[in-house]
Structure formats: C-alpha cells, structure tokens
Amino acid sequence: MLGADVKALGGVADAVGRVDTALSVSGAGSVASRVVLQLYDLAGLYFRAFYALPSSIVGPRGRPVNAIRGTVDMLARVIAEGCPARAVACLDVDWRPAWRVALVPSYKAHRVAGEPPMTTFSGEADAGAPASDAAVQRMAPSVSEEEVPDELAWQVPVILDVLDAVGIATAGAPECEADDVIGTLAEMEWTEPVEIVSGDRDLFQLVRDLPTPVTVRYVGGGMGNAAVIDTRLLHERYGVDGPGYAVMATLRGDPSDGLPGVPGVGEKTAARLVADHGSIEAVIAAAQQEPSSFSPALRGRIRGAVDYLRAATPVVHVRRDAAIEASTPTGSFRLPREAHDPGRLAALADEHSIGRSIERLLAVLADLPG
C-alpha cells in the first residue's frame, strides 16, 4: 500500500460536484468487448463523492463518512457495470508536479492554499477568466499544498485502508498525477480492453481503438448519466480523436486547471484547427506562413501565444512513461472474489458505519464471471 498522506494524495477532479450535461448521453455499453482492466481516478471519485453526498452522513463518532461511503458505492457500481477482471485505483502522489508548474506557473495555482486567482493581462483580479501569457509567467507557485476540506482529509486514509482490506490494487508514481499513472497503465496494456473511470475530460486524450480499445466511463454528469466515451462518441462530440483532444485542449485552455489557452480561441475553433493541422507545431507553422490561411485576428492570437503553446503541450499531455509504484506487482491487478483481509474490513465497517456499502461491493466482486 502506498502512503496515505493526504498532502501527497490531494487532487481535485475536473469540475468536482458540477453536473456536466454535455456528455450525459446513453453511452454506457457502447463498447462491445468486455472491459478487462478498469483504471480509477481515485481522487476524482472521492472528491465527487464528498461533494455529492451530505456531510450529515456520519459514523459512530459523529464524523462525516460521505466520501468513504460514496467512493465504495461508486466502485461497486462501475465494477458491476464493467465486469472487469482487473482494476487499479490510481493515486495523485503529486497533484501539482513541479515540472508542470515550471512550464506553466499558473497550473492549478488557484487550488493552492493562499494563492491568488489567475489574472488578466492588466493584472486585475478576474477569477476564472483566461489569463494572457504575460500574466501566466507572473504566476509563481508559493506553496505546494492543496486545500482539502478537513471533513474530507481524514476520510482519504480510510478509503485507502478499505481498498487494501478488500484487495483492490492501488498505484501511483513519483512527481506524477493520477492521470499520468492512468496513461502509463493504459499504454502498457496491449492485449485486453481498458476502461478509465473519471470525471476528468483531460483523459479523453487516451481514448483509442488500437492496439486494444481504451474508453473513458465519464462520470462528470453523475453516475446515473455516465457515458462510455469511445472513439465514435469522441469524434461525434468534438470532431477529434484521442491525440487530437489533447491538442484541442492545449489551444482552448482550461481555467479549472489554470491553463489559459490561446485568448479568443474556444472549443470549436480549436477543434477546427486540429482537424486542419493536427499538431500544435503545425498550427504554429500555419500561422507563421506568408501568406497565411488564417484570418488576421486568429493569426495574431496564435503567433502571440507561441511560447505558451509550446510550454503547455507537455503540461496538457498525459504521461505514458511514469515510474509506477503499485501495491501489487504491475500486471497482476486481478480483482478479488472475496475480501483480502475480512477481519480488518469488518472492523473498518463497524468503526465508520459503512457496512452496507462494503457488503454491496463484496457482493459485486463475488458475482464477477470467471
């Protein structure tokens, strides 16, 4: 089991607790082949559970257990729906890696305790508004500790204890976020289908058909509206493939991650640029051509953001080469059919009044085929 230090495991899922209906389509089950490996964005799930369920759900000591109960229930549901043979709960060992901050200092800066909001070019505070390149360069990190509500902080180690007692593998990587762990494990899987469970659209860049299918069970619109995003749905919604989604996201930016993007370039324009040119370098080259096929305004925006685009590209792209540290040997992430440590699990259930949630999870595991 990796360390349960909340400072190391902190990380906010994209748009935590916010219902995103843009992708709330009936996509579940759109992939014909059975999911064999599920990869969970664990921090994203427990933050979502914490904000979705009331803090009035408490244990015998009167402390909230909403994140614990909600996370276990979500895992039971996605395992029941996906019927995976293997699964890994992926951890944010470093929720804001220094190497990403060095490239784009505003990266997740607004989530740091005491950090000012992103600013406009004029330097006037404008929370959530895109920032210019100059403003981004002025945003220096002050501390590396993410703000985590006290009522959630103490629940995270319990969630990890529950996973360990059940026998569900966990994995992380030094100087990497859970996204990088997921990207690396998906990249390593060349024989069987993979499903990523997350409310973070950044992971759409991992969707593929070959050599094995990788899909994202997107829970950003709530568990009842979960959509399985495959290459077909990704193209229908955005007009891009998985790698193209990362290019589009770099151009468009993401204020929730402190990434301003190119000023004035929204999702549709970014998707069109990807369709026409494919890569960031190709977009930059097209903007610098004489004459250029771009409008004067768009050409000026791209040319003015060249330094940002080159710095942001590795920030936005999920790593595929993280040094994975797992609770079980990499590649042997088989889901158990019964609790790994039933005595310890029973004690956790009693201590935190989560017996019903654990019973549901164990029942689902026992019912898995093969």
| pLDDT of res. 22 | 35
| Least confidently predicted of 23-37, 112-126, 231-245, 338-352 | 112-126
| Least confidently predicted of 3-7, 74-78, 119-123, 308-312 | 119-123
Confidence band for 331, pLDDT divided at 50, 70 and 90: low
Which tokens in the block code for residue 172? 């992380």
* Strand pairing class (37-41; 86-90): parallel
The pLDDT of residue 263 is above 90? yes
Please state, for a pLDDT cut of 70, what percent of the chain lies above it: 81
| pLDDT of res. 283 | 97
More confident of the two residues 118 and 221: 221
More confident of the two residues 272 and 130: 272
Confidence band for 328, pLDDT divided at 50, 70 and 90: confident
Q: Which CATH class is domain 6-101+146-237+326-342?
A: alpha beta
Longest Cα–Cα distance in the chain: 72
| pLDDT of res. 193 | 96
Summarize the confidence of residues 133-137 as an average pLDDT.
30
186: nearest Cα among 314, 80, 319, 96: 319
Residues 9 and 7: their CA atoms lie apart, in Å, by 6
The pLDDT of residue 14 is above 60? no
Specify which of 7-11, 46-50, 126-130, 221-225 reaches the highest per-range mean pLDDT: 46-50
| pLDDT of res. 137 | 31
The pLDDT of residue 18 is above 80? no
| pLDDT of res. 94 | 95
Summarize the confidence of residues 172-197 as an average pLDDT.
96
Confidence band for 10, pLDDT divided at 50, 70 and 90: very low
Confidence band for 114, pLDDT divided at 50, 70 and 90: low
| pLDDT of res. 274 | 97
Summarize the confidence of residues 65-69 as an average pLDDT.
98
Mean pLDDT over the full length of the chain? 84
Q: Is 352 exposed, middle or buried (0-12, 13-18, 19+ CB in 10 A)?
A: buried
| Least confidently predicted of 152-166, 187-201, 327-341 | 327-341
| pLDDT of res. 209 | 96
The pLDDT of residue 303 is above 60? yes
| pLDDT of res. 31 | 39
Summarize the confidence of residues 195-202 as an average pLDDT.
96
Please state, for a pLDDT cut of 90, what percent of the chain lies above it: 74
pTM of the model: 0.83
Summarize the confidence of residues 44-51 as an average pLDDT.
96
Confidence band for 26, pLDDT divided at 50, 70 and 90: very low
